[in-house]
Structure 1
Amino acid sequence: MADAPLRDPNPEPGGAHADPALRPEIARARTIARLPLNAIRAFTAAARLGGMAAAAGELGLTPGAVSQQVKTLEDRLGLKLFEREARGVRLTAVGADLADAAHQALDGMAHAYERALARTAPGILTVGVAPSFASLWLAPRIGGFLKAQPDLAVRLDSQRHHVDLARGEADIALRWGRGDWRGLVVLPLGPEPLTPVAAPALAAALRTRTDFAPACLLDQVRLHFAELDDWGCWFRAAGVAMPEVIAAGPGGPVFSESTAVIEAAEAGQGIAIGRPSLTADAIAAGRLVQLFPDIRADDGWGYYLVATEVGLRRPAVAAFRDWLMAEIAKMPR
């Protein structure tokens, strides 16, 4: 009698001895295990936003890093996903097909993650907030929200970089920028006109000058926020010739945080360009005075409430949004 064939005591999953009905599932599981998820995220963002630079801004990477991730994916597939052109990139046919499927998959995963996160910590609300807004506007008012929501704990995450709402780093965010964040619900917190402010004693001294006019600020100590040309914007709105502004130079210290600019102005160290959200309380308390309240400039920057659509369905997030917008409506502009 012929010997029976030997059986592998530890057959490889999905091998010849696997249940034929399970072989497609096992093959799919192997494919999933090999998916380069970071590269797929980079590719999907580049496809959705129309370029590597825009995707880099959304993902917090450099354009070169996004390009490398996309190349890694193309090398793994042995296919071109983008056609490189002089003005940017264009999806190939296979790239468009993969981008559509990947976007749907990642979007579904993000929504499921947010729903799970909402169930795991229903009593904690994490708010990502720009540091200056946190210090000068939100901190003095957050007690009112907690009083209205006594069963809710609030964590304020005040960092300069934007928290990733899709990844669940925060439930809702208060961001500084121009409001151009795709894929999110973005609500402006009102206009932020620029106007010079100073401590009362300095303002009173300036107003005694016979030449008290916008141009007289050129020979004063001006406090600057490093990231924006807020003084240049205001001088243009005031009709002061830019050659005069340029010739005057910075005329004072430059700060990396706008909170420090306002604090220096309150201490009488110079004149600052103020925005309502950062100076309203100091003006109301008499710590700062507007020098030319009728001359205001708009540089297009401001604060925004930002959330995902799924996140806003959470009662705690919706309650914070409603409270915040009601408080914002009370502010003098």
Structure 2
Amino acid sequence: MSVSPPRPRSLPLTALRAFEAAARLGSFAAAAQELGVTPGAVSAHIKTLEDALGAPLFHRRAKAVELTAPGARALPEFTAAFDQLARAVQTLRDEAAPAVVHIATLPSVAQFWLSPRLPALRQAMPEVAISVTALETPPNLKRTPYDLCLFFDPSQGQPVERDVIFPVCAPNLAAQLSRPEDLRNVPCLTDTTWDRDWMHWLAAVDLSEKVTPRGPVYSLYALAVEETLNGAGVLIGHAALLAPLLQSGRLVAPFATKVTLPDALRLWRLPGRGSAAAVNQVAEWLKSSAGEEILQS
């Protein structure tokens, strides 16, 4: 007579992933954002682990969570394990679907910088399928299924283009602007992504204390650009994004002063991808497409 005793249940992988993310980030909310779930789901996963282990993994505070001693001792091994799992998944994806590349980038970069380049990229690499996801913040490539990140960032990846900013407006409005002080008399448009742009530029022309930008605020840079094209006001333009509109004359720069910000447009991917992987080919093509504006890393 065979004996088949019940096996002890393993700890759920999804719950372990939630623990690692919450422990590494120090927040259930931040872990939920990284994992694409709700904070309640992360909390439920942690509770499942704690019930199975019979011990708490976190001390819950009013505005944060803190690891218990057992959780803190386990975290480095879990982080290393999930890092290794991410590399294995990359290898599997490169082997199974070698010509699929997932790009994560800012909505404004997706619309103004990346999208105009996609037709030429498809023509140069017809065998490669490109998907683009617009995100407000860079994802963690070790924990998300993206291949490339393209963001204005001061630290990560290889610089692709400088972030040069200056006021832009429609040609008919530019006729009213002969010197920066004239900005007092026209709407100054702002978007929430780059809400400090006016501060940087006005400081460069020594008008921080003399001119206070007043005008509509937009949640998307694309909306602000569209209204600028419509003549609604003056916007701080990012040269890397608006170069085609400036070259066509649909937008003009009424003043000569330009400011280069430290957060260059940067492109990065996880190391270790095979030399022939499509992600590497796409990354090199995108860097070369920036032409003379490419920065040396």
TM-score, normalising length: structure 1: 0.73
Among residues 206, 227, 235, which one is paired with 1:264 in the alignment?
227
Change (3 A) 1:86 1:219: same
* 3-state SS in 2 of match to 1:169: coil
* 1:286-321 per-position Cα deviation (integer Å, ceiling 9, x unaligned): 2222222324263x6553323222457552111111
Matched, 1:115 2:91: yes
Equivalent pair of 1:117/1:168 in contact (CA under 8 Å):
no
* Identity level (%): 34
Higher relative contact order, chain-length normalized (CA < 8 Å, sep 6+): 2
Change (3 A) 1:269 1:86: closer
Aligned partner of 1:197: which letter? Answer: V
| Distance in 1 of aligned mates of 2:22 and 2:92 | 27
Aligned partner of 2:243: which letter? Answer: A
Q: Which residue of 2 aligns with 1:14?
A: 5
The two structures, once aligned, show a CA RMSD in angstroms of: 3.5
Change (3 A) 1:327 1:284: same
Equivalent pair of 1:194/1:274 in contact (CA under 8 Å):
yes
| Distance in 2 of aligned mates of 1:60 and 1:82 | 21
Equivalent pair of 2:103/2:130 in contact (CA under 8 Å):
yes
Matched, 1:239 2:213: no
How far 1:114 sits from its partner (Å)?
1.9
| Distance in 2 of aligned mates of 1:160 and 1:47 | 23
Change (3 A) 1:295 1:148: closer
Q: Which residue of 1 aligns with 2:177?
A: 206
When structure 1 is superposed on structure 2, of 228-237 and 154-163 the one drifting more is 154-163
How far 1:136 sits from its partner (Å)?
1.4
Q: Please list every run of 5 or more consecutive structure 1 residues that lacks an aligned counterpart in the other structure.
A: 1-6, 16-26
Change (3 A) 1:295 1:150: closer
Matched, 1:46 2:11: no
Equivalent pair of 1:132/1:257 in contact (CA under 8 Å):
yes
Among residues 2, 9, 12, which one is paired with 1:31 in the alignment?
9
Alignment: residue pair count: 294
* 3-state SS in 2 of match to 1:304: strand
* 1:198-225 per-position Cα deviation (integer Å, ceiling 9, x unaligned): 1223213322xxxx2x232022022221
* 3-state SS in 1 of match to 2:163: coil
Change (3 A) 1:154 1:295: closer
| Distance in 1 of aligned mates of 2:219 and 2:239 | 19
Among residues 167, 171, 174, which one is paired with 1:196 in the alignment?
167
Matched, 1:223 2:189: yes
| Distance in 1 of aligned mates of 2:59 and 2:143 | 30
Q: Please list every run of 5 or more consecutive structure 2 residues that lacks an aligned counterpart in the other structure.
A: none
| Distance in 1 of aligned mates of 2:14 and 2:30 | 16
| Distance in 1 of aligned mates of 2:276 and 2:66 | 38
Equivalent pair of 1:276/1:332 in contact (CA under 8 Å):
no
How far 1:244 sits from its partner (Å)?
4.8
| Distance in 1 of aligned mates of 2:12 and 2:19 | 11
| Distance in 2 of aligned mates of 1:167 and 1:51 | 16
TM-score, normalising length: structure 2: 0.80
Aligned partner of 2:24: which letter? Answer: R
Matched, 1:305 2:283: no
Equivalent pair of 1:118/1:314 in contact (CA under 8 Å):
no
* 3-state SS in 2 of match to 1:76: helix
* 1:53-110 per-position Cα deviation (integer Å, ceiling 9, x unaligned): 6545544567676556445433432223345789966544422332133223322322
| Distance in 2 of aligned mates of 1:258 and 1:225 | 6
Q: Which residue of 2 aligns with 1:3?
A: none
| Distance in 1 of aligned mates of 2:49 and 2:29 | 18
When structure 1 is superposed on structure 2, of 52-61 and 113-122 the one drifting more is 52-61
Aligned partner of 1:276: which letter? Answer: A
Equivalent pair of 2:227/2:233 in contact (CA under 8 Å):
yes
Change (3 A) 1:139 1:89: closer
5 Å-filtered alignment, 1:112-151, equals 112-151=88-127
Bigger radius of gyration, 1 or 2? 1
Aligned partner of 2:204: which letter? Answer: A
How far 1:258 sits from its partner (Å)?
0.8
Aligned partner of 1:234: which letter? Answer: W
| Distance in 1 of aligned mates of 2:193 and 2:41 | 25
Equivalent pair of 1:234/1:297 in contact (CA under 8 Å):
no
* 3-state SS in 1 of match to 2:175: helix
Matched, 1:316 2:240: no
Q: Which residue of 2 aligns with 1:19?
A: none
